[in-house]
A and B are shown apart, each in its own frame.
Chain A
């Protein structure tokens, strides 16, 4: 039986996939997004070591409270602990959880497929459709490759995109995003999320800084709506 490192557990969420869900945030992430909300989850040696069964027993206690029994494995980057993620997803699924993987699409295609095929849904966060390295350490080629593999495997998919004025809202980026969206038959939902600076304190506690804290204006609801309309995604 495997064990892994988790950063924290969130017992109730309505924003990490469909319905009501519990979320496990795994420790360790190589992607280092500038807008990360959990920078304290990056360190692969941090967090709490826990066995899969022990974790499932903790999660089990939350199930009677959830109107839909969803579990999202998030991070950190779950692909950074592939064996742990696979075992957790498989066992949770056997216990009747609807399991979702929240990922940046990091890792080799082979490994990504090995992990993703154990999930009912993948929440795929595209950092930037043309130049992901401008806001993270994701590599465009790997991300697109993994996105494609999900389509091939017909795994239900939600795309998430954080809108950061001046960083991810360039017209050519949004046009590329629209193109990607239109070519994914397994796509169920696109979430355009407004960037906010609520994580600034967490960064500062770690003694870190992000350029986003200095020159980004707040995102308005109108901007989100405009982008949504431009992307023009309708579920098939």
Chain B
């Protein structure tokens, strides 16, 4: 049978070009959700079994099993099944569901710490190999870190660095496997390899990369074979297309434990196959839904073995399998297909869940029925995030996906060097404290000691510029060390095999604590801030008389300060040399780490007490958005996407009643808020519709809320999987309500 039968278009047949294939063949869908099918009997049985296993996992303290005997790899395990007769899509990371892999490539210390935390002994032979004979990414990075890098890291000025875990962020264009098969992809990679024959560092580096990719494609085909799937050839029908696609992704998560390993933007692609089968009469809607449901079940079972420190930073065992939905094509047609609806339907068929991290690429011009359905689902599940397609499409084209939380990346074209983030609030305290760390008193950077009892704006800003400049040098150099070694010792050959051989590289820098800094600067500039210093000259507290403008109230005076800080820091970063000539980008994003950053930060001039959490992402500080949600959105929308192309995360929480008096009102109002936010230039929004009482009740009775999903900065989590501290922080956040 011809795998490409009845497909239109020519260009994509003679070269790898999935975007062109999609353009030539997809059918936009303008109708509503009434065609959707419920879960099949097989899906129900399979999902019940998985839910039981996940409950066991929860009761076991979060980890069900660890396989300490094998090293993570594509073909390390024989095929594994959950319940073969009810499974439609095959493939597990190991040979049993929820059994976690040991992945030592990133670093042996992490394996030890993670095993120890779970009361398991790591394998001795493996330990010997990865400590004596084989260098790991973590070890290599720490060997070349300078004392300044180590200090900034341990004080929490630069944090969450991917120097002890996989950097993630890369999205292989997994669609290439079903469309072309691995044999053709391998052939093309070999061609690329042989065409590059210069003998210089850059070229040899790239050639080694491609050679690794070829090997990965071989292994991927082997894995397929073990499950009875010949993925070396193109997929013949929808079921194979879904299976091949998932198999390609599975290879990536078998070999890598990257923090965020996203899925892509697969709906229009898969829809072409499903549509063809429907037209050929070989599949029903229930079966089509079953394919998406069962793939989703598999994605919900992806697990990695993490250390307790990692869990503190990224709460709730996330994997960030972000799947992008919706969006508009460059030719003006919506990229919305029935399969976008089918993905959303998994939230009803299987219940809400943080994974996959469903992300709607939103444009006010999307079909009305689709906007309605997305808004309804967001209100019903608090599991969706929305990103501004009209902002991203002009930069990334229409074949991009969201990687990790909020970062756009062109499929098969781009890769990102994940750069975690710096703590801007701590940097401000360095400026105020003469370059000394406010908690330890350690000297970190040379800046003049401020004089007098009151903070003078000119002096503080001048010092802050010095600190930010120093930090941009240190930060970019640290990133260069990390990614050099990550490429060398923990290279993502699977994902890179599904990206063009000469990718565009981005260095994704990030910042945290922006609203704390903006409010602090505002207090200094528009009011008088008295400093209370200890004998070392370090500020132990601040006194502010009266009011000052706070970020989140659509007040240009303070919103402008936030923009000014971002621009200054990004300009400094842009002047630094970057590994592999990557293009710098920046995010305003914290995930759940705003709690940890706050913990490591002394009192700030905005009145925030020592150790108190920051607001998540680009959010205004809790309780300071006195003019309501629209004003808050307007403030966040002023943050410049042109320099923050890695994403600006805003988490919005509202009570059902405050959103509207009934379901149709709520849907209409939410759409209007999102449209307004995006036409004002906003980039990303998490939507949570719940009451504080629900969260408090869930804290007290977690067993009653196994699926309660909430959006945090850039992803979603099961609320009951958060630590007590994080739960309290979420409850403290501004939940917009009007009594």
Residues of chain A whose beta carbon lies under 8 Å from any beta carbon of chain B:
8-16, 19-20, 22, 37, 58, 61-62, 64-67, 196, 198
Known: A16-B738, A65-B673, A67-B668. A11 touches B629 (CB 8 A): yes
Contact of A67 among B628, B632, B661, B671 (CB under 8 A): B671
Known: A37-B739, A61-B554, A65-B673. A11 touches B657 (CB 8 A): no
Q: How far is the CA of A34 from the CA of B660 in the complex (A)?
A: 28
Interface contact B739-A64, CB-CB below 8 Å: no
Cβ–Cβ < 8 Å partners of B631 in chain A = 9, 11, 62
Interface contact B630-A66, CB-CB below 8 Å: yes
- What would 25 A/B residue contacts be, using CB atoms closer than 8 Å? A8-B626, A9-B627, A9-B628, A9-B631, A11-B554, A11-B627, A11-B631, A11-B632, A12-B628, A12-B629, A12-B630, A13-B738, A14-B657, A15-B739, A22-B628, A22-B630, A62-B554, A62-B631, A62-B634, A64-B675, A64-B676, A65-B675, A65-B680, A66-B672, A198-B739
Instruction: Give the residue name and chain of the A residue nearest to B660 (CB).
Output: A14
Besides A15-B739, A66-B630, 8 new A-B residue pairs in contact (Cβ under 8 A), listed by A number? A11-B628, A12-B736, A14-B658, A14-B660, A37-B739, A62-B630, A64-B679, A67-B669
Indicate the member of A11, A14, A19, A198 with the most B CB atoms within 10 Å. Answer: A11
Interface contact A14-B554, CB-CB below 8 Å: no
Interface contact B661-A14, CB-CB below 8 Å: yes
B687 at the interface (CB under 8 A from A): no
Interface contact B659-A66, CB-CB below 8 Å: no
Q: How far is the CA of A66 from the CA of B634 in the complex (A)?
A: 13
Cβ–Cβ < 8 Å partners of A16 in chain B = 738
Chain B 669-691 per-residue mask, 1 if CB under 8 angstroms from chain A, else 0: 10111011101100000000000
Known: A12-B628, A12-B629, A196-B739. A65 touches B677 (CB 8 A): yes
Interface contact B738-A65, CB-CB below 8 Å: no
Q: How far is the CA of A198 from the CA of B692 in the complex (A)?
A: 14
Q: How far is the CA of A10 from the CA of B632 in the complex (A)?
A: 11
Residues of chain B whose beta carbon lies under 8 Å from any beta carbon of chain A:
554, 626-634, 657-661, 665, 668-669, 671-673, 675-677, 679-680, 736, 738-739
Cβ–Cβ < 8 Å partners of A196 in chain B = 739
Q: How far is the CA of A22 from the CA of B736 in the complex (A)?
A: 14
Interface contact B739-A14, CB-CB below 8 Å: no
Q: Main secondary structure on chain B at its contact with chain A? A: helix
Instruction: Give the residue name and chain of the B residue nearest to A13 (CB).
Output: B738
Indicate the member of B626, B657, B739 with the most A CB atoms within 10 Å. Answer: B739
Q: How far is the CA of A13 from the CA of B660 in the complex (A)?
A: 9
Known: A14-B669, A65-B633, A65-B676. A8 touches B739 (CB 8 A): no
Instruction: Give the residue name and chain of the B residue nearest to A198 (CB).
Output: B739
Indicate the member of A12, A13, A14, A37 with the most B CB atoms within 10 Å. Answer: A12
Indicate the member of B626, B658, B669 with the most A CB atoms within 10 Å. Answer: B669
Indicate the member of B628, B661, B736 with the most A CB atoms within 10 Å. Answer: B628
Interface contact A66-B676, CB-CB below 8 Å: yes
Cβ–Cβ < 8 Å partners of A13 in chain B = 628, 658, 738
Contact of B630 among A15, A65, A198 (CB under 8 A): A65
Sort A-B residue pairs by CB-CB distance and give the 7 closest, nearest first.
A65-B676, A11-B630, A67-B672, A11-B628, A64-B676, A11-B631, A12-B630
Least distance between A154 CB and chain B CB atoms (Å): 26
Interface contact A10-B665, CB-CB below 8 Å: no
Instruction: Give the residue name and chain of the B residue nearest to A22 (CB).
Output: B630
Cβ–Cβ < 8 Å partners of A8 in chain B = 626-627
Q: How far is the CA of A13 from the CA of B739 in the complex (A)?
A: 10
Interface contact B671-A15, CB-CB below 8 Å: no
Q: How far is the CA of A65 from the CA of B630 in the complex (A)?
A: 7
Cβ–Cβ < 8 Å partners of A198 in chain B = 739
Interface contact A15-B673, CB-CB below 8 Å: no
Cβ–Cβ < 8 Å partners of A11 in chain B = 554, 627-632, 634
Cβ–Cβ < 8 Å partners of A9 in chain B = 627-628, 631
Cβ–Cβ < 8 Å partners of B630 in chain A = 11-12, 22, 62, 65-66
Cβ–Cβ < 8 Å partners of B632 in chain A = 11
Least distance between A185 CB and chain B CB atoms (Å): 25
Least distance between A76 CB and chain B CB atoms (Å): 16
Q: How far is the CA of A196 from the CA of B737 in the complex (A)?
A: 14
Cβ–Cβ < 8 Å partners of B627 in chain A = 8-11
Cβ–Cβ < 8 Å partners of A19 in chain B = 665
Q: How far is the CA of A128 from the CA of B353 in the complex (A)?
A: 49
Instruction: Give the residue name and chain of the A residue nearest to B676 (CB).
Output: A65
Q: How far is the CA of A66 from the CA of B630 in the complex (A)?
A: 9
Q: How far is the CA of A120 from the CA of B671 in the complex (A)?
A: 25
Cβ–Cβ < 8 Å partners of A37 in chain B = 739
Interface contact B659-A14, CB-CB below 8 Å: yes
Least distance between A197 CB and chain B CB atoms (Å): 11
Q: How far is the CA of A65 from the CA of B680 in the complex (A)?
A: 9
Q: How far is the CA of A61 from the CA of B630 in the complex (A)?
A: 9
Interface contact A12-B673, CB-CB below 8 Å: yes
Q: How far is the CA of A66 from the CA of B676 in the complex (A)?
A: 8
